[in-house]
Amino acid sequence: MEVRRLRRVFQVLVLAVLVAVPLYSQNPIEWAPSRIAMGELPPPRVSRVWGDTWSFSFYGFTVTHPLAALEAMLAAKVVYLPLLAAALLPLAITLLLGRVFCSWICPAGFLLELNQRLGSFLSSRGVRLSLRVADYRYHLLGFALLLSFFFATPVVSAFDLPHVLGREIFYVLTYGAPSYGGLLLLTGVVLLEALAARRIWCRSLCPAGGFLSLLGAKRVVRISKRMERCIFCGECNIACPYGLRPVELGIDKDFNDRTCDNCGLCRDACPTGALYYAVRR
């Protein structure tokens, strides 16, 4: 079975949840947005389902992005045990599988992956720039965490792309309009990737993705290669959205797969089945 299809199921489900949560928590069926716009407000209620990919709560069970927990505690300068407990499940998944959040869950990553088709279309029409950007994820991560600590306010959450997307969906479904800042950031990244560089945000700029890369550097499950099956066709290199050259797995000892998010595209593209998921020994 192709990994891409299974990933698509997860990605679509997450996007559907981001749409369903504000509809459930803010706009009950009997209180349509048109009635609210006319000044009629529904009776107040406390929803037991809220949040997005930054922090999500379902009837008392809360799951928090590890970076969200770290940043919040740095800003507050307090170690809050419930917040740590909420980050344990995502942390365990990252240590086991790497930054699969980026490839299997992140709604922004899903949209940017689909956006590659627009980039390919523009490239075929000659509307394409060649832009190379070094990996600044760790620099931006460190700088943002320092700002959070010294100014006692979360910084990464302000421009974490999946969190911004979740907020904009909430704003649109609850208030009928997005925020200018969030809409500008999302539109800018989409256009930048379509016109200049494929997956530049996830590869070079996302501090949350950089944090997950650090946590998952020694992940248990990763892409490996059966050398006897490899015909060095290079199809895996073409499929990899981050340009990691999976064909060099098992050959180049300096091969850096920290950026790899276990998306499985190289595995699906391999015509001989040389690439596969394996448990790290």
Q: Is residue 79 domain-shared with residue 126, that is, in the same domain?
A: yes
Q: Is residue 183 domain-shared with residue 259, that is, in the same domain?
A: no
* SS3 category, 154: coil
Q: Is residue 122 domain-shared with residue 87, that is, in the same domain?
A: yes
Average pLDDT, the chain: 87
Q: Is residue 63 domain-shared with residue 13, that is, in the same domain?
A: yes
CATH of residue 255's domain is 3.30.70.20
Q: Is residue 16 domain-shared with residue 85, that is, in the same domain?
A: yes
Q: Is residue 112 domain-shared with residue 245, that is, in the same domain?
A: no
Tally of domains in the chain: 2
Q: Is residue 61 domain-shared with residue 142, that is, in the same domain?
A: yes
Whole-number Cα distances in Å, 111 to 55, 120, 162, 164, 187 = 20, 15, 10, 13, 11
Interval 142-196: pLDDT, tens: 999 999 999 999 999 998 999 999 999 988 888 888 899 999 999 999 999 888 8
Tell me which amino acid residue 150 is.
Answer: F
pLDDT band with cut points at 50, 70 and 90 for residue 131: confident
Interval 81-120: pLDDT, tens: 999 999 999 999 999 999 999 999 999 999 999 988 887 7
Interval 191-217: pLDDT, tens: 998 888 888 899 899 999 999 999 998
Name which residue leads in pLDDT, 132 or 274.
274
| pLDDT recorded at residue 18 | 93
pLDDT of 231 over the 60 cut: yes
Interval 4-39: pLDDT, tens: 899 999 999 999 999 998 887 765 545 555 555 555
| pLDDT recorded at residue 53 | 93
Q: Is residue 176 domain-shared with residue 81, that is, in the same domain?
A: yes
Tell me which amino acid residue 94 is.
Answer: T
| pLDDT recorded at residue 26 | 63
Domain end call among 175, 193, 214: 214
- Write down the number of H helices and E strands in the chain: 14, 5
| pLDDT recorded at residue 27 | 52
Q: What's the rounded mean pLDDT across residues 258-271? A: 91
Q: Which domain holds residue 51?
A: 3-214
Q: Is residue 166 domain-shared with residue 250, that is, in the same domain?
A: no
In sequence order, what E strands does 147-272 have? 221-225
Q: Is residue 99 domain-shared with residue 171, that is, in the same domain?
A: yes
96: left (phi over 0), alpha (psi -120 to 50) or beta: alpha
Domain end call among 187, 214, 241: 214
pTM of the predicted structure, to 2 decimals: 0.86
| pLDDT recorded at residue 174 | 81
Kind and range of the H or E element at 138? helix 137-151
| pLDDT recorded at residue 143 | 96
